[in-house]
Chain A
Amino acid sequence: MLALFEQRRDLVFITADLGYMALERIRDTYGERFVNAGVAEQNAVSLAAGLARAGQLPWVYSMAVFTVLRPYEQIRTDVCLHRLPVKLVGNGGGYGYGIMGATHHALEDVGAMRVLPNLRIYVPLTASDVAAVVFEMAADPLPNYLRLNAPAAIPGGVPPFAPWRKLKRGRSSVVIGMGPVLQGLYDMGSQDLLDELEIWSAGVFPLAELPAELATSIREKRRVVVIEEHYAACGLADALSHRLLTSGTIPGSLTCLNAAGYPSGRYGSQAFHQRENGLSGPTLVSRLEAVLRA
């Protein structure tokens, strides 16, 4: 955002009173174009719509759950229907706020945003993705939602941000994931299992057409696994299923690894919730092994 400010002086950065030890440099750099709108997300979003109507490029920052759900009707009506270039940033998508608990998690943010008109959603994977996505969003005339999370550190690096990216080759199955939850695949501790998986990252909604290479892999390998730190409804698996069916790319099996919520009723770090939901750790290993056996 600091680099972007060097290029574009129509930026207005609105925070809903979040960003301690995070936004200070933006505040100091943006000056009067940094607006703390208080803990008032509904006003913040409509305010941003008004700013956009006045020719500004407003960004609205809060926790993902409060960016998306608290002002949802304002997003629908004031931003999306009017096709105004308001850039909504939600930090801590999924279980990102960990031990803060269920009120601060966002397991339905992508789904909620996917059904809105004219809105494009960005889900970066790595730290370098975030910078690229910010510039892409600034150039996008549509409303956007950016789902932020602690970035993944994928061994060997990843290609530059794109709607579809192939992260690695694999022998027998195709895994498609959204955001840093993909890290769990690399941390399973089983190289043999990892070698079986061809891994792809989906980073933009609405999903772009499947790349020819991905469609070919799905037809050849037959097994598809979707992994996302999001409820099953309206997430990546739903969107991908539609893409697969409408493109005639029919896998032999489709396994969806989603967040189920709070199966034990216990709370913990983001890593705890990922493990408990089978998005990392031993349960992920056993679920993938089951896919390979089938």
Chain B
Amino acid sequence: MLEERAFSIKKRFLAMYKRANAGHIGSSLSCAEILTFLRVGWMRDGDTLVLSKGHAAAALYALLAELGQLTEAELDSFCQDGTRLSALPPFNAIEQIPFATGSLGHGLSVSAGMALGAKLDRHDRRFFCVTSDGELDEGSVWEAALFIAHRKLENLVWVIDRNRIQGIGRTEEVMALEPLDAKLRAFGYHVVVADGHDFPGLLAAREECRRALDSGGAPIAIIANTFKGNGVSYMRDTVDSHYLPMSDEGYARAIDEVTRAHAAALNGYRNAG
């Protein structure tokens, strides 16, 4: 079940961040459900996930461990001297991570290249690229966006983790992106907007994407509305959660709140039927 998986992944990366006394916690909490949904709820064997917002690498590592593709011992090495698991994804080290990402504005282009390569070879592999929203300031993202739409790369799904916070401010104050959906539609995308923390909503988005792909003609962009630091009250929707590590008390609170939210979500699903 997606909710169970996401809860397990969050517990893993919160522990990793605490052990490493590292930041970028809010970034991982922002995309935990998105990554879980894509990898567990949509992707097939042979499909490829590119986390262009590489600063959320801990969530990706935790996801891979959840799927048995990284060991617990390796997770323990996160951000320690001698680790493979750097704060942002490494190059040529882990099979499921095709590119070192986190230099913002690269992930969509390399995904487009892999998607084009698969099409040229008549493979039915698909590629899922998760960018941040602050990353959209990078001109190279729009170069890639033009290319993907022009070449109609329908084997590439672009998911934007739209938490509205970037380096040192809110996206709309630093470099306004809205109306983002209209921008993407104008570029030629079939745009689906979803709650990036809500699995039923994400699954509905997946079905809409499938219908759109069946009718053809446009690549897919999903705007997943999220909150940085989601699920932990003192981190939620804050710039601080991009940078600050957790104190012992903060970690205990984070685990407690994530656990309560998980229980509430399960209860919600039960009540819904």
A-B complex is real: yes
Interface of A with B (CB < 8 Å)?
A: 12, 32-33, 35, 37-38, 40, 42-43, 45-56, 58, 73-74, 77-78, 81-83
Cα separation A52 to B150 with both chains bound (whole Å): 21
**In contact, B109 and A53 (Cβ under 8 angstroms):** no
Asked, given contacts A73-B103, A74-B109, whether A46 binds B114 with beta carbons under 8 Å apart, the answer is: no
**In contact, A50 and B105 (Cβ under 8 angstroms):** no
Residue in A12, A55, A78 whose beta carbon sits within 8 Å of that of B110 in the complex: A78
Cβ of B125 to closest chain A Cβ, rounded Å: 8
Asked, given contacts A42-B109, A46-B109, A47-B110, whether A77 binds B100 with beta carbons under 8 Å apart, the answer is: yes
Q: Mark B99-133, 1 if CB is under 8 A from A, else 0.
A: 11001011001111111111011000000000000
User: Can you list 7 A-B pairs with a CB-CB distance of less than 8 A?
Assistant: A43-B143, A43-B144, A49-B99, A49-B110, A50-B109, A53-B113, A56-B120
Q: Which B158-187 residues have a C-beta within 8 angstroms of A? A: none
Q: B147 contacts the other chain (Cβ, under 8 Å)?
A: yes
Cβ of A206 to closest chain B Cβ, rounded Å: 21
Cβ of A268 to closest chain B Cβ, rounded Å: 33
**In contact, B113 and A81 (Cβ under 8 angstroms):** no
Cα separation A82 to B90 with both chains bound (whole Å): 10
Cα separation A49 to B150 with both chains bound (whole Å): 19
Cα separation A47 to B100 with both chains bound (whole Å): 14
Q: Which A residues are in CB contact (< 8 Å) with B139?
A: 42
Asked, given contacts A47-B116, A50-B117, whether A83 binds B110 with beta carbons under 8 Å apart, the answer is: no
**In contact, B113 and A50 (Cβ under 8 angstroms):** yes
Residue in A33, A40, A48, A77 whose beta carbon sits within 8 Å of that of B113 in the complex: A48
Q: Which B66-115 residues have a C-beta within 8 angstroms of A? A: 91-92, 98-100, 103, 105-106, 109-115
- Say whether chain A's binding surface is mostly helix, strand, loop, or mixed: helix
Cβ of B192 to closest chain A Cβ, rounded Å: 23
Residue with the highest number of chain A CB atoms closer than 10 Å, among B113, B139, B140: B113
Q: Which A residues are in CB contact (< 8 Å) with B115?
A: 50
Interface of B with A (CB < 8 Å)?
A: 91-92, 98-100, 103, 105-106, 109-118, 120-121, 139-140, 143-144, 146-147, 150
**In contact, A50 and B112 (Cβ under 8 angstroms):** yes
Q: Which B residues are in CB contact (< 8 Å) with A56?
A: 117, 120-121
Closest to B141 in A: A43
A-B contact count (CB 8 A): 99
Q: Which A residues are in CB contact (< 8 Å) with B99?
A: 49-50, 53, 78, 82
**In contact, B144 and A81 (Cβ under 8 angstroms):** no
Q: Which A residues are in CB contact (< 8 Å) with B140?
A: 40, 42-43, 46, 74
Cβ of B51 to closest chain A Cβ, rounded Å: 15
**In contact, A40 and B143 (Cβ under 8 angstroms):** yes
Q: Which A residues are in CB contact (< 8 Å) with B103?
A: 73, 77
Cα separation A38 to B148 with both chains bound (whole Å): 12
**In contact, B92 and A47 (Cβ under 8 angstroms):** no
Cα separation A47 to B115 with both chains bound (whole Å): 9
Q: Which A residues are in CB contact (< 8 Å) with B111?
A: 50
Cα separation A137 to B147 with both chains bound (whole Å): 27
Cβ of B189 to closest chain A Cβ, rounded Å: 16
Closest to A58 in B: B113
Residue in A42, A51, A78, A83 whose beta carbon sits within 8 Å of that of B116 in the complex: A51
**In contact, A46 and B144 (Cβ under 8 angstroms):** yes
Cα separation A205 to B139 with both chains bound (whole Å): 32
Q: Which B residues are in CB contact (< 8 Å) with A48?
A: 113
Asked, given contacts A50-B114, A51-B116, A77-B103, whether A38 binds B143 with beta carbons under 8 Å apart, the answer is: yes
Cα separation A50 to B115 with both chains bound (whole Å): 8
**In contact, A53 and B114 (Cβ under 8 angstroms):** yes
Q: Which B residues are in CB contact (< 8 Å) with A77?
A: 100, 103, 106
